[in-house]
Amino acid sequence: MTNKIDTTELKPKDFQSDQDVRWCPGCGDYSVLSSVQKVFPKLGIKKEDFVWIAGIGCSSRFPYYMDTYGMHGIHGRAPAIATGLKVARPDLSVWVSTGDGDLMSIGGNHFIHACRKNIDLKLILFNNQIYGLTKGQYSPTSEKGKVTKSSPYGSVDYPFNPTSLALGAEATFVARTLDRDVKHLQEMLLRAGEHKGTAFLEVYQNCVIFNDGAYTDYTDKETKAETIIKLEQGEPLLFGKNFDKGIKIDGFNPVVVDLNDGVHSIEDLLVHDEHDESPVRSFIYSHMTDHPELPTPIGVFRQIKRETYDEAVTRQIEAVTDKKGEGDLESLLFSGNTWEVE
Amino acid sequence: MTNKIDTTELKPKDFQSDQDVRWCPGCGDYSVLSSVQKVFPKLGIKKEDFVWIAGIGCSSRFPYYMDTYGMHGIHGRAPAIATGLKVARPDLSVWVSTGDGDLMSIGGNHFIHACRKNIDLKLILFNNQIYGLTKGQYSPTSEKGKVTKSSPYGSVDYPFNPTSLALGAEATFVARTLDRDVKHLQEMLLRAGEHKGTAFLEVYQNCVIFNDGAYTDYTDKETKAETIIKLEQGEPLLFGKNFDKGIKIDGFNPVVVDLNDGVHSIEDLLVHDEHDESPVRSFIYSHMTDHPELPTPIGVFRQIKRETYDEAVTRQIEAVTDKKGEGDLESLLFSGNTWEVE
Amino acid sequence: MAQEEKNGKPIEQLNDVTVMFAGDSGDGMQLTGTQFSDTTAFLGNDLSTLPDYPSEIRAPLGTLYGVSGFQLHFGATNVHTPGDNPDVLVAMNPAALKVNVKNLKPRGIIICNSDAFDAKNLKLAKYESNPLEDDSLSGYKLFPVPITSLTVAALKDCGLKPKEVTRSKNFFALGLMYWLFNEPLEPTLEWVKTKFKNKESVICGNEKALKSGYYYGENTQLFASRYKIAKAKLPKGTYKSISGNEATAIGLIAASKLSKLPLFLGSYPITPATDILHHLSKYKNFGVKTLQAEDEIAGITSAIGASFGGSLAITTTSGPGLALKTEATGLALMLELPLVIVNVQRGGPSTGLPTKTEQSDLLQAMYGRSGESPVAVVAATSPSDCFYMAIEASRLALKYMVPVILLTDGYIANGAEPWRIPHVNEFKEFEVTQRTDSEGFQPYDRDENLARPWAIPGTPGLEHRLGGLEKANITGAVSHDPENHHLMTEIRAQKIENMQNSIPDLEVDGDSEGKVLVIGWGGTKGSITEAVNDARKKGMKVSRAQLQYINPFPKNLGDVLSKFDNVIVPENNMGQLAKILRDKFLVPVIQFNKMRGLPLKTFEITEKIAEVLGGKND
Amino acid sequence: MAQEEKNGKPIEQLNDVTVMFAGDSGDGMQLTGTQFSDTTAFLGNDLSTLPDYPSEIRAPLGTLYGVSGFQLHFGATNVHTPGDNPDVLVAMNPAALKVNVKNLKPRGIIICNSDAFDAKNLKLAKYESNPLEDDSLSGYKLFPVPITSLTVAALKDCGLKPKEVTRSKNFFALGLMYWLFNEPLEPTLEWVKTKFKNKESVICGNEKALKSGYYYGENTQLFASRYKIAKAKLPKGTYKSISGNEATAIGLIAASKLSKLPLFLGSYPITPATDILHHLSKYKNFGVKTLQAEDEIAGITSAIGASFGGSLAITTTSGPGLALKTEATGLALMLELPLVIVNVQRGGPSTGLPTKTEQSDLLQAMYGRSGESPVAVVAATSPSDCFYMAIEASRLALKYMVPVILLTDGYIANGAEPWRIPHVNEFKEFEVTQRTDSEGFQPYDRDENLARPWAIPGTPGLEHRLGGLEKANITGAVSHDPENHHLMTEIRAQKIENMQNSIPDLEVDGDSEGKVLVIGWGGTKGSITEAVNDARKKGMKVSRAQLQYINPFPKNLGDVLSKFDNVIVPENNMGQLAKILRDKFLVPVIQFNKMRGLPLKTFEITEKIAEVLGGKND
Ligand SMILES: Cc1ncc(C[n+]2csc(CCOP(=O)(O)OP(=O)(O)O)c2C)c(N)n1
Ligand SMILES: Cc1ncc(C[n+]2csc(CCOP(=O)(O)OP(=O)(O)O)c2C)c(N)n1
Ligand code: SF4
Ligand code: SF4
Ligand SMILES: [Mg+2]
Ligand SMILES: [Mg+2]
């Protein structure tokens, strides 16, 4: 419904609210904020048509810092609030910022239902693998054995893999990026913004206070070429400092091959297709993080077309109205079995 | 913790409570009930160590009909109630009966968390693709376009695939069966009962009143050989009246091949391995139902070993107690910075 | 009682009659009852109905817990309840007889399907011997009729399957009742034709069953007399029979039209509220958007989202669902967004008695939220009043930018009554302003009612942020300032108090001062009215009032109460309104409380009035 | 005030002093405050503390909203609150000064880190000019100290990074305060050594900073005098300083030991309740099982599961979380299973003021459930009372097989006070019976308290089913019988009433009759006690009582109230207890309400007492 308009006059600072940003110095949330403010003018949407909804958590303070319509809701419920808004107002561009506790713990149900319903929402998960705002308890994405205030002897929970869960819940757009790779982050935000349907974007976000360094391996200059693999549409899965390693599929398992080993060539590698109708391919990507020997994929895992919930609602209303004519209250009142009293 | 004991003297009728069974005549729930009552004596567990927990819904009336400890809880919360019980009492065998509304709609969050935590619970989903108890609204597993009282013009939701969701949520045991295939049903109940960890068993269950015939294709004598494929450990995926068709993998997609076409042989077929560590294989199975041209798999999709939550809790308590000695209240009270007032 | 002759049978004229249709859940008793009500209403009687069905969908045949009943009270005057005790019981099987005979009036009529009184059914109903044959029913006028076999015989040529044939026996019973009460078959025959258009065999079966029942009455010498009930003196107009849930649904649509706002419903099915969702989802051509949410929390939070977006936003539920919505209700009140929460009360606590009625969610509606969190609470007093109170709830929510809880209950939600249909032009349009002017805009600015401006996304220049953290008054910035918090707490309470200025005063039926005032709220209106009328007939002097507005109370309530020596508060709970009255007005009210999952019995209230009047020696 | 000479400085003897430490959230103010409290307590003073921190984790440096404070009131007598207004303010930067100076007593002492008063920080604190240099602080005794630079100089040889060095400046301030109040450094030095074992450079830094602060006081001529506070007259015994949340946690462990039941906690983190989860999860060797659940609903329902399994089951939360637990609380009450729900109240409604204190969840605790659903409600009155009330809540839950809500609040949960540690043998073991005998077992049988038997899975022969549907009394079968429902509703209410037999009568401090009774509940005890003591000092005659048991009330409460002409009810809400008192006793109580997210100010209550006493012309 959101028709692209010319918004070239909009600038990042038009999206900056007058509130002081209150995250801890060094928090990964800052880079997401400034990236969003850079990406929004590129989406061809009027400033007043953006709405930013959030739950509770550090990441959920986001709307206060955006000079758009916004709501800081209650813990875990942002996807449901956003769903109501989008169904009521398909003309708006509705974004949600949420944390791993907010979306995956208390908000898990709304998350999976938003995915399955394919409502045209952008869900940006700030995954810092910790409860930031409540000062450091392990979250559903924390690794097993994590020592925190609520797990002084190590957590005993096996974590969720957010992208796997989204895929299991039928999400039509699944992507991952890093707070520190600003260029990629912006590209992904743009892609999420352009997708029609529930767009799930996981951002690996560093919490400097309670879980500092969770993603250092993926962001450090020295290591990132070996630990991260960028998915690019139509391209073979290549990584490594010199792009001399790749991912090939063995049975259902992705394995690393060395292109210099004299045995393998680029032809052996898996070629990325984000539009693959089957979610199996992206499920393979999502599970690569289970294996320390494999690089962690970032990029768009999956992006397929499917009627959105809000479109379907509108379509149905139009169809019924076409058939029955616009509802008239007087006739509704007087419909059915009536009788007269004189 | 549940040590197998000799319970040969237990009979199905020992598990029948004195309450009249109040489901509609012809409801698929009856066969699950009698199957459970047949399987329980085979599990080597003392009668008093079984607990049956449920939420709200037709299927959730189950505990009333079982002469075990039981609880008819509140809508959607059975997995959480059961989690608390099992963590507190790892010696018990804890079972949950639940509906597609109970588990997948209001209870979605507890469901996915139970899967990920791998608590030693048996979750038996009575999937009739409808809200039975509230008299026929579409559920999260109803097909899109379903006409019900709350969707007179057809529902606009894309449904969940319960097995996909369980896999996306890291479940260690995922299986599917049919209310009408009593032998298979009992086999699956036994398998679920024997698994250590969260066992998720989806039962395709017919609601004669509000969604009659949802699974006729899978249960009718004439069609079932073509529409159902039984997964058997170590066996190739064969189906058809004469077992002359099979499933082969093409890329990531399962396709049907005709073993009589002169081209394909049994060697081309996918061989089932329920213990495959990677959940990708079972994700392929779970998505076969998206494709009308493919048969629907029943059987154990996946069964892997992973420490259960309740075991981990116990292990941690033992380790800490070993290290610190059993807690003494008097010393706890007088620990820390104390001073004397004379 | 005038006597009249027709077809050889004397016709007795009655003022009002209560009839109970009872049978297995599959016996079609709800349909039979509804048809009978419609015809009765059509004839100009006033009426009130009480459907009562088991929580099982199709409880096994013949069981006591599987009995489904439909009680109907109709008459020329004084019809405000479905009746304490039936005059006539139609029992399709032994279980239906067993469950209902204890409520029947002494010397009441029992019509029963004697075919169903076989050994199996008697055993299921836990009868030791056949009550049609032993003497146990000698206190009643018993009419055993072989309904099944007569129906089978009558329908043999319609081409129906045996199962379909026996399923038509309810229409035989209905026909017999039409004969007994001297009512025409035509309305039902019409209905059958429209309903089963193109299903000739079904039309045939229903017609034949209905007619054979009627002729059976006419031809047999079973009944000594027939009955006739005079037309009620009802205000002139076009009427229809309406249930509370239906009335709520169309009331909300009316509110949407009156406010010129699109209607959004976020809801999760729960008995007995689900029908509102069912009704509203039919009206897509009114632009109504219904979202069957994943749970109650998503139901209300999606409505909050829609309200932020500028819709008239609604969520509907019953007790346990309201419990789940409390956190989000707190959010809506903090955001100061309009929201209507409809709670159809049922028997509690917990799952309780889900298909039974009760008024026990009042305290939850008033106080069931964290923090100081006043919301408006209104209640509907009858099925058709649900229509008006749905409009009122919406009007107040929009005017004061607050959540409003509308309480109805299972009894008025499922029960039906004749309703004089109002014309659209009888209603004032709501004055709703959505802010568009950015000049001087402040999100927590206040109008004369203390309401803040509603500025919806898509409006250029009004971009602002709402949230559940305490807000500075006027600017809406997050504020931890202690004095601001106290101020905002007062403002939120004051907004609700201010509503007193736009709600009507409480009307007293009877003298405005005296010895006894009986005051109730919501769905007990019928019982209390009938009880007070009965008491007056017995010469007692007693006044009556029924509250529709509970938070805030009508301005004159304190005054009203102060004019009476005794205030009796009958409630279908343990005294929840009584608590609030004592708290607010320090009056030692006299409670009358029953928790039986049923409407209050008229005669018990009348007894209470007598006791209070008699107990005072003056 | 006795004067004494030491090291050339006069030593002033004070009865009690209130000190506020304030700085950036990263400045370590909470730690500084805690150390100062511990040392003070160790010296034998009575004390009370109030930590106050922003809801941001590390708000940007120097901002007004980023100020973290720790207020501490210590003295020889009359220490019941953290003090209305500080006598001494330690401000580490301009923002800390700005935020706190308005509360400082006239002529109060300000010690501030003059190094931090640079242009940038002044701007962040929104100061137009430097308050150390303009005349704006002339009403106070101002002591600017270049704390940062002095610390840097002192620590140069410790081998710390520059960031670590400046982070030690709080210990300089602490040392200076020790000097000013004539307190020893040893306890803190000890603590440093244990805490940072093997981190030599950190120990060095902290020691040096602390000592240089102390010597700075000794060496400079800045202060005209030093102060000393006499030991408080406290009962003999071993003491420790304890916060409410810690006390709740160990109280629950004590209850587990006294009942010989394993402890299970199902909880979801929420400020200010999370620390109870933190504490309990440390005590694995007490067999404590803590489950960090996916949400509040799973927190309570997992506890219900554990309770079914025979554990002492607990769930902990704060306001919005309690709202989410209401449906499940109804289930527990219907199942008649023991359950303790701890609610640490915070500023509401909705997210409200999450780090501030309030008493506004009382009505939610009392009435926030669907249906007629009475549960027991108790409240702790001080940090250490949390220990006793956690035991009481557990005892009542187990004895009556009901959910019990224990209300504490952010102030007593985070605040600390010296606690005379009781010995285990001072407590009676609970008599808990879990049924094992299958002879005549009925799941809803009743004992003399109306409690039903607790039969836990694993017990042969007692297999039975519980559930949220209404149950037949005694047998526990699902029942739709109207009279049974009424009966069960009464039984559930009566069970709570029966608790009056096993809770203590309310004690009145002061005369048991008279003109004015000040009655409070829960965490306002300190403020009210101090206010009443002050009023008495001023010659007013006034009595005082504090409720710990709210549902049911102590048996004698009606009597107590009836003996006074006026009843003042100060509450940190808009009058929630007042409502209940009016409802139950029809007494026209006088409300005193503040909603500022802070403990009630003592002097305001005293004023209210004076007003009420003065307002009556006799
Ligand atoms: C109903 C409710 N329960 C609990 C909380 C407390 N709470 C606030 S944020 C949060 C979790 C924060 O973690 P996350 O979602 O990962 O966000 P982050 O702060 O890490 O960005 C919790 C438990 C709350 N505000 N409301
Ligand atoms: C909190 C709450 N919300 C709603 C309901 C109403 N309700 C009871 S069962 C049910 C859904 C039943 O569907 P399902 O779980 O599929 O079970 P089935 O009856 O089909 O076996 C609903 C919506 C309830 N009891 N409690
Ligand atoms: S606590 Fe962590 S996530 Fe929260 S603002 Fe600070 S660094 Fe960011
Ligand atoms: S309504 Fe459907 S699911 Fe429920 S008992 Fe009847 S047939 Fe079974
Ligand atoms: Mg997080
Ligand atoms: Mg179902």
**CB-closest option in B24, B56, B76 to C351:** B56
pLDDT range class, residue C616, cuts 50, 70, 90: very low
pLDDT of residue A3 exceeding 60 = no
Choose the weakest-confidence range: B258-267, C407-416, D46-55: D46-55
**pLDDT surpasses 90 at A194:** yes
Q: What is the pLDDT of residue D616?
A: 44
- Distant-in-sequence, close-in-space partners of C460: CB < 8 Å, separation ≥ 6: A46, A47, A48, C438
Bridge pairing between strands B121-127 and B69-72 = unpaired
pLDDT at D587 over 60: yes
Q: What is the mean pLDDT of chain C?
A: 94
Give D102-126 pLDDT, tens digit per residue.
999 999 999 999 999 999 999 999 9
Interchain proximity A83–C424, CB inside 8 Å: no
pLDDT at C8: 64
Per-residue pLDDT, D8: 64
What mean pLDDT is predicted for residues A113-136? 98
- Token look-up 């809000």 returns A310
Q: Is the pLDDT of residue B6 over 70?
A: no
Here the tokens at position B23 are: 């489901």
Note whether C310 contacts A321, CB cutoff 8 Å. Answer: no
Lowest-confidence range among D157-161, D547-551, D558-562?
D157-161
Q: Are D304 and D337 in contact (CB under 8 A)?
A: yes
Tokens at D359, concatenated: 């008493």
Q: Assess whether pLDDT exceeds 70 at residue D330.
A: yes
Helix (H, G, I), strand (E, B) or coil at B312: helix
Average pLDDT for C229-255:
95
Which class is domain C3-229? alpha beta
Whole-angstrom Cα distance, residue D325 to residue D340?
12
Instruction: Tell me whether residues A106 and D270 touch, CB distance under 8 A.
Output: no
Coil, helix or strand for C318? coil
Of C433 and C5, which is predicted with more confidence? Answer: C433
C123 pocket-lining for ligand 4 (C-beta < 6 Å): no
Rg (CA), chain A: 22
Superfamily, domain D240-426: Thiamin diphosphate (ThDP)-binding fold, Pyr/PP domains (3.40.50.970)
| pLDDT tens per residue across span C112-170 | 999 999 999 999 999 999 999 998 999 999 999 999 999 999 999 898 998 889 999 99
Q: Is the pLDDT of residue C241 over 80?
A: yes
Compute the distance between CA of residue A273 and CA of residue A119 in angstroms, rounded to an integer: 23
Using a CB-CB distance cutoff of 8 angstroms, which residues of chain C are in contact with residue B140?
294
Provide the pLDDT confidence category of residue C474 given band limits of 50, 70 and 90: very high
Q: What is the pLDDT of residue C221?
A: 74
How far, in Å, CA of D549 to CA of D395, rounded? 13
H or E element, residue A288: none
Q: Which of D24, D292, D302, D350 to mutate to test the interface with A (most CBs of A within 10 A)?
A: D292
Architecture (CATH level 2) of domain C514-612: 3-Layer(aba) Sandwich (3.40)
Give mean pLDDT, residues D62-76. 93
Cβ atoms within 10 Å of D311's Cβ, excluding its own:
26
Tell me what ipTM this predicted complex has. 0.96
Cβ atoms B210, B100 nearer than 8 A: no
Inform me whether the C-beta atom of residue B5 falls under 8 Å from chain D C-beta atoms: no
Kindly list the residues from chain C whose CB atom is less than 8 angstroms away from the CB atom of residue A48: 457-463
Q: State the pLDDT confidence band at B2, using cuts at 50, 70 and 90.
A: very low
Same fold, D240-426 and D514-612: yes
Asked if D327 and D468 touch (Cβ cutoff 8 Å), the reply is: no
Give pLDDT tens digits for B193-229: 999 999 999 999 999 999 999 999 999 999 999 999 9
Residue of C nearest to D486 (CA): C595
- Which chain A residues are within 8 Å of D294, Cβ to Cβ? 105-106, 108, 140
Q: Is the CB of B133 under 6 A from ligand 2?
A: yes
Among A83, A100, A118, A165, pick the best mutation site for testing chain B contact (most B Cβ within 10 A): A165
pLDDT at B139: 98
| Minimal-distance CA residue to ligand 2 atom 23 | C269
Question: Is the pLDDT score of C330 beyond 60?
Answer: yes
Percent of chain C with pLDDT over 90: 89
| Contact call for residues C302 and C291 (beta carbons, < 8 A) | yes
Q: Is residue C397 within 8 Å of residue C338, measured between CB atoms?
A: yes
pLDDT for C4 equals: 57
Taking CA atoms only, the protein residue closest to ligand 2 atom 6 is C270
The answer for residues whose C-beta is within 8 angstroms of residue A97's C-beta and 6 or more apart is A32, A52, A54, A59, A60, A62, A63, A78, A124, A126
Per-residue pLDDT band at A2 (split at 50, 70, 90): very low
B21 in contact with chain C, both atoms CB, cutoff 8 A: yes
Helix (H) / strand (E) element for B81: namely helix B78-88
Indicate the average pLDDT of chain D.
Answer: 94
pLDDT at B34 over 70: yes
**Amino acid C26: pLDDT:** 82
**Distance (Å, rounded) from C-alpha C543 to C-alpha D72?**
61
Cα–ligand 1 centroid distance for B110 (angstroms): 17
Share of chain A above pLDDT 70, in %: 98
CB-facing half-sphere around the CA of C460: CA atoms within 13 A: 3
Residue D618 has pLDDT above 50, yes or no: no
Probe ligand 1: pick from A131, A135, A204, A205, max atoms within 8 Å of CB? Answer: A131
Res C1: pLDDT: 41
Interchain CB distance below 8 Å, A133 and D57: yes
Residues in chain D closer than 8 A to A135 (CB atoms) = 57, 274
Query: Which CATH superfamily groups domain B1-214+307-342?
Result: Thiamin diphosphate (ThDP)-binding fold, Pyr/PP domains (3.40.50.970)
Residues 6+ apart with CB under 8 A from C191: A337, C35, C38
Question: Cβ contacts of residue B9 below 8 Å, gap of 6+?
Answer: none
CA-nearest of C408, C522, C414, C595 to C50 is C414
Query: Rounded to whole angstroms, how far apart are CA atoms A25 and A20?
Result: 12
Tell me the backbone φ, ψ of residue C325, rounded to 5 degrees.
-90, 0
Which amino acid, residue B192? Answer: A
| pLDDT at B4 > cutoff 70 | no
Q: What is the mean pLDDT of residues C583-609?
A: 96
Domain ranges of chain C: 3-229, 240-426, 435-502, 514-612
**Token duo for residue A55:** 């739950």
* Kind plus residue range of the DSSP H or E element containing D181: none
Contacting subunits of A (3+ beta carbon pairs below 8 A):
B, C, D
| Element (DSSP H or E) covering residue C116 | none
Give CA angle at C563 (C559, C568), nearest 5°: 100
Residue B244 CB partners (closer than 8 Å, separation 6+): B258, B259, B260
Nearest residue (CA) to ligand 2, atom 5: C270
Give chain B's mean pLDDT. Answer: 96
Which residue in the set B134, B153, B155 is minimally distant from C271, CB to CB?
B134
- B interface mutation test: which of D268, D285, D307 has the most B CBs within 10 A? D285
Is ligand 4 within 6 A of the CB of residue C1?
Answer: no
pLDDT, position D539: 95
* D58 Cβ below 6 A of ligand 3: yes
Query: 0.90 exceeded by the pTM?
Result: yes
- The model's pLDDT over B76-129, given as tens digits with 9 standing for 90+, comes to 999 999 999 999 999 999 999 999 999 999 999 999 999 999 999 999 999 999
Whole-number pLDDT of residue B1: 42
Segment D295-300 shows an average pLDDT of 98
D463, pLDDT greater than 70: yes
